[in-house]
Amino acid sequence: MPDSPSSLSHAQGFVSLVGAGPGDPDLLTVKAVKRIRTADVIVYDRLVSQDILDLASPTAEMVYVGKKLDHHFVPQPKINQILVDQAQLGKHVVRLKGGDPFIFGRGGEELQSLVAESIAFEVVPGITAAVGCTAYAGIPLTHRDHAQSVQFITGHLKQHGEDIDWPSLAQSNHTLVFYMGLKQCPQIQANLVVNGLAESTPCAIIEKGATPQQRVLTGPLAELAQLAGQAQSPSLIVVGSVTELHQELAWYKPE
């Protein structure tokens, strides 16, 4: 594998779709660091920390396209067009996303826009929030005594596409991780309970995971909506008995 995209670049330029991980800059992959340092343009999201952005060359153009709850600073079609336009100027563009770009990051949509314009690209995976934030909270996603499977679910309940299959989620030996679901916690709680998951099922909300501001709130499913009222975005919601291990296994001590 090449150390830089130059040998792969076309005359139109090149796009590196890079996962920035869950927060701690030390969790970046080696390849991600290389791409950030050599980029001509970095198109980045709200969840990318300043420590990570500081790795870029002083000459790199920084383009902020952040999104937060109920507000998109730059609409997705415009982000797609920015990537196309910058690459067509012959530049090496790094599209930098928190977590992993293929896990609820719309990375696939952005690459489709590049394919339509015959622009060369690569994907540099990152540690997704469900893996990184739970690890920093001392919550193993699977455990022989607690959960034999895990599922990642978008918290944007039926905003686009079909409704979530709630009966399939309401399993006692299962770990559920909801992304972007803080505002939807009352509906998550109600749908899981009505489909048979016990109100006593342990839950956790991990706020600003894998950062010095990390906070972990725990309680039963019956109190999930109440816990959500005490948390701020970005937060990850974890449902399942593995969250009971937080008190025993918590190792990360935020400043």
Residue 45 is a catalytic residue? yes
- pLDDT (mean) for 62-73: 74
| Total residues found in the chain within this entry | 255
What pLDDT does residue 68 have? 60
Contacts of 161 by beta carbon, 8 Å cutoff, 6+ apart: none
Give the C-alpha separation, 205 to 196, whole Å: 21
76 in helix, strand or coil?
helix
- pLDDT (mean) for 67-92: 86
- pLDDT (mean) for 161-169: 83
Is residue 141 within 8 Å of 150, Cβ to Cβ? Answer: yes
Residue 67 is a catalytic residue? yes
Could you report the per-residue pLDDT of 98-116, keeping only the tens digit for each? 999 999 999 999 999 999 9
Q: Does residue 134 surpass a pLDDT of 60?
A: yes
Give the C-alpha separation, 92 to 17, whole Å: 11
Give the C-alpha separation, 243 to 246, whole Å: 6
Q: Domains in the chain, start-ordered, CATH in brackets?
A: 5-127 (3.40.1010.10), 130-249 (3.30.950.10)
- pLDDT (mean) for 48-55: 95
What pLDDT does residue 172 have? 87
- pLDDT (mean) for 112-137: 97
33-71 exposure pattern, b = at least 16 Cβ within 10 A, e = fewer: ebbbebbbbbbbbebbbeebbebbeeebeebebebeeee
Confidence at 1, pLDDT banded by 50, 70, 90: very low
Catalytic residue among 31, 67, 85, 183: 67
With a threshold of 0.85, does the pTM exceed it? yes
Catalytic residue among 24, 34, 40, 45: 45
Q: Does residue 155 surpass a pLDDT of 50?
A: yes
Q: Does residue 71 surpass a pLDDT of 70?
A: no
Is residue 17 within 8 Å of 31, Cβ to Cβ? Answer: no
- pLDDT (mean) for 3-18: 72
Query: Is the pLDDT higher at 124 or at 159?
Result: 124
- pLDDT (mean) for 2-9: 54
* Nearest partner of 152 among 123, 173, 131, 127, judged by Cα: 131
Confidence at 9, pLDDT banded by 50, 70, 90: very low
